[in-house]
Chain A
Amino acid sequence: MSVPENPAKATQPGRRWVNILLGGGLAASVVSFLYPALRYIIPPPIAESTSRSVVAAKATELKNNSGKIFKFGSKPALLVRSADGTFRAFSAVCTHLNCTVQYRDDLHQIWCACHNGLYDLEGRNVSGPPPRPLEVYEAHVQGEDVVVTRSA
């Protein structure tokens, strides 16, 4: 394979550079593809996709006859610990005009500050403008946590 003078000798070091460029480019691009893929397969801190179940509080956090607002999905929810110690959970979105309700420990009922609406501890609208009861969630104690679930 006799090769004329001009290209052969001159391209020997040039050939190396091309190989380096090619190999480097390929390697770098492969890394830029593999890096996201590897990060992707590592599970994120919140392991589950569904927001149908949320840890509302620690079981010891609430005293009897008190309430706590917590985040459920992108809406507020209310966890109530009634006077006898049982946990109840509701959507905290008032069925009148969507204000956030709160637990009144003096009335033992759930109250909406916007227009004075009242709900009992079953979520039923008992006084004022709310036309419908609050959506009721399930609350139960799992170990140290109070877990609130919404049925599908």
Chain B
Amino acid sequence: MKNAAATLLIMMCVLGSAGADSGKNSCLDCHAALDDARLVKPAKLFDGDIHHQAGLTCADCHGGNPDDDSMSAMSPAKGFRGVPKKAAIPDFCARCHSNATYMHPFNTKLPVDQLSEYVTSVHGKRLKQGDAKVATCVDCHRVHNILSVKDPRAPVYPSNVATTCGRCHADAAYMKEYKIPTDQVAHYQKSVHAEVLAQGDTSAPTCTTCHGNHGAAPPGVNSVVMVCGTCHVFFAQLFEKSPHQAAFTQMGLPGCVQCHSNHEIVKPSDSWVGVGPNSICSTCHSSGDAGFKSSQGIAMDLGRLNLAIAQADSVLDTAERAGMEVSEAKLELANAHEALIKGRVNVHTFRASEVQKVTEPGLEIAKKANQAGAAALQELNVRRKGLGIALITILVAIAGLYLKIRQIESKPQA
């Protein structure tokens, strides 16, 4: 039965190859018709592969002779490399992907340094030491149905990266021997970064943004600020000039992560400064030290401005709903809001004076807006004066009418 099938297939291939040129891929044709699911799978997947679309065949990676329809297509004499062992995979892919000349015609923008990065990574180093559990090229990119990074279905597309890394790093059983946490993905999913990414902004950070992709390694404690600072420029600049920079470096504390956490980076709140129950400053600073005083000062500044804006907002809203014209005042109030935002940025100087510098003008603006709103509501009262005048004339008219009636009816009726 099998022989018959094989013969039939060979005849078809021969006939088919009558008009075919170098596009012939006997590997694909044969493997697609086999019974063993494990052998059929690569053939089935290859249709969607980016290498296939670039015109490459199985032989371009695995060697062998794609024109040969017999089993001799897979002979080492014809250059057949077979399935590479785990430790050999990076070199297997790098044969082309590290060759700039070879890669250039396919895609001028594709980097060719993946292997050199990989050997510096934790994965690469451990692979060299014989660890077969670490990630290699095919663990992240898949094999036989490799998609471009820009394809949303690719495991390395930004919104899929966390899931891909999580396949190992969130598997507690798999990671047991490495004694590192496995809650990073769970934490990350709660972060603002994950939220923004889920909303479609692919520039939002995922695992590889901070850890690197091919050269994946956790950033050193001293380089955290620089990593976060690639996007959060102002905060990094302010932090580096702040008293925390020296203090953290001395104590070996990981910069931004100390307060903001590394994976579960949530939206910060004004209650993080100051002396309240949510205060992060209080985890190190206690009553009496300079930091405590600063944190108190900062919290008070932000709190005052917040309150002033809320008050002004409420007054202006009431006036507007009542139909008073307050658009100018609302515009000005937006500036106060901006001062609050800048104040929150300046928290990272960890100096109350710096925060106050920005919030002070905001307070002025909020006060003025409040006054404008109160004036608008007052205008409503001014109308009562006009009303008073009208009411007086009405009362006079009514009195006149009443007296007229009395007058008419005091005469005896005819």
> Is there direct touching of A and B in the complex, by C-beta distance under 8 Å?
yes
Whether A29 contacts B393 by the Cβ 8 Å rule is yes
Tell me whether A98 and B411 are in contact (CB under 8 A).
no
Instruction: Determine the residue in chain A with the shortest Cβ distance to B406.
Output: A18
Within 8 A of B (CB), among A78-120: 93, 97-100, 113-116
**Given A15-B407, A32-B389, residue A99 in contact with residue B398 (CB < 8 A):** no
Chain B minimum-CB-distance residue to A21: B400
Given contact pairs A7-B410, A7-B411, A74 touches B401 in the complex (Cβ within 8 A): no
In the complex the two chains form, is B400's CB within 8 Å of A32's CB? no
Contact with A along B381-395 (1 / 0, CB 8 A): 000000001100110
A141 at the interface (CB under 8 A from B): no
Query: In the complex, A141→B335 CA distance in Å?
Result: 29
When the two chains form their complex, are residues A100 and B396 in contact, meaning their CB atoms are under 8 A apart? no
Q: Measured between C-beta atoms, what is the minimum distance from A12 to chain B in Å?
A: 11
Known: A1-B414, A7-B410, A74-B327. A100 touches B334 (CB 8 A): yes
Cα A3 to Cα B410 with chains together (Å): 11
- CB of B327 within 8 A of CB of A22, answer no
Contacts of B345 in A (CB 8 A): 114-115
Indicate with 1 or 0, residue by residue over A20-38, a CB within 8 angstroms of chain B CB atoms. 0111111011011100000
Contact stretch, chosen from B37-45, B104-112, B179-187, B336-344: B336-344
Residues of chain A within 8 A of B331, CB atoms compared:
71, 74-76
Contacts of A31 in B (CB 8 A): 393
Q: Assess whether A75 is in contact with B403, with CB atoms less than 8 Å apart.
A: no
The interface centre, meaning the residue of A25, A97, A131 with most chain B CB atoms within 10 A of its CB, is A25
* B411–A28 touching, CB < 8 Å: no
B132 within 8 A of A: no
Once the chains are docked, how many angstroms separate the CA of A131 from the CA of B199?
Answer: 9
The answer to whether residues A3 and B411 also contact, given A21-B396, A29-B393, A116-B234 and a CB cut-off of 8 A, is yes
- What is the distance, in angstroms, from B132's C-beta to the closest C-beta of chain A? 42
Which residues from A are CB-within-8-Å of B399? 21, 25
Q: Are A25 and B411 in contact (CB under 8 A)?
A: no
Shortest Cβ distance from residue A20 to the other chain B in the assembled complex, whole angstroms:
8
> Does the CB pair A18–B403 fall under 8 Å?
yes
- B307 at the A/B interface (Cβ < 8 Å)? no
| Contact of B396 with A25 in the complex, beta carbons under 8 Å | yes
Q: Which A25-53 residues have C-beta < 8 A from chain B?
A: 25-26, 28-29, 31-33
Q: Are A32 and B393 in contact (CB under 8 A)?
A: yes
Q: Which residues of B contact A115 (CB under 8 A)?
A: 232, 234, 341, 345
Taking the closest CB of chain B, its distance from the CB of A7, in whole angstroms, is: 6
Inter-chain CA distance A71–B410, complex, in Å, is: 67
CB distance from B226 to the nearest CB of A (A): 16
Q: Return A146 CB to nearest CB of chain B, in Å.
A: 19
B143 within 8 A of A: no
Interface pair B400/A23, CB less than 8 Å apart: yes
Inter-chain contact B401/A22, CB cutoff 8 Å:
yes
Q: Which of A11, A21, A71 has the most CB of B within 10 A?
A: A21
- Least CB distance from B312 to A in Å reads 14
Contacts of A23 in B (CB 8 A): 400
Bound-complex Cα distance A14 to B400 (A): 12
**Is B201 touching A100 in the complex (CB atoms < 8 A)?**
no
Report the bound CA distance from A4 to B411 in whole Å: 10
A24 touches B400 (CB 8 A): yes
Q: How far is the CB of A79 from chain B (nearest CB, A)?
A: 15
Min CB distance B75 to A, Å, is 55
Residues in chain A near residue B326, CB distance under 8 A: 74
Residues of the B chain whose Cβ atoms lie less than 8 Å from the Cβ of A75: 331, 334
Q: A129 vs B389: C-alpha distance in the bound complex, in angstroms?
A: 58
Looking at the assembled complex, report how far the CB atom of B198 sits from the nearest CB atom of chain A, in whole angstroms.
12
Given contacts A18-B400, A71-B331, A97-B341, contact A28 B407 (CB under 8 A): no
- Give the contacts of B212-263 with A (CB-CB under 8 A): 231-234
Instruction: Decide if B330 is an interface residue (CB 8 Å cutoff).
Output: yes
Tell me which of B233, B341, B397, B411 contacts A26 (CB under 8 A).
B397
Q: CB-CB < 8 A to A11: which residues of B?
A: 407, 410
Given contacts A97-B341, A113-B342, contact A22 B397 (CB under 8 A): yes
Give A100's nearest chain B residue, CB to CB.
B338
Q: A-B pairs with the 5 shortest C-beta distances?
A: A22-B400, A25-B397, A74-B327, A25-B396, A25-B400
**Contact sample, A vs B, 26 pairs, CB 8 Å cutoff:** A3-B411, A4-B412, A7-B410, A7-B411, A11-B407, A11-B410, A14-B407, A18-B404, A22-B403, A24-B400, A25-B393, A25-B397, A25-B398, A29-B393, A31-B393, A32-B389, A32-B390, A71-B328, A74-B326, A74-B330, A76-B331, A97-B341, A114-B342, A114-B345, A129-B231, A131-B201
Q: Which residues of A contact B (CB under 8 A)?
A: 1, 3-4, 7, 11, 14-15, 18-19, 21-26, 28-29, 31-33, 71, 73-76, 93, 97-100, 113-116, 128-129, 131
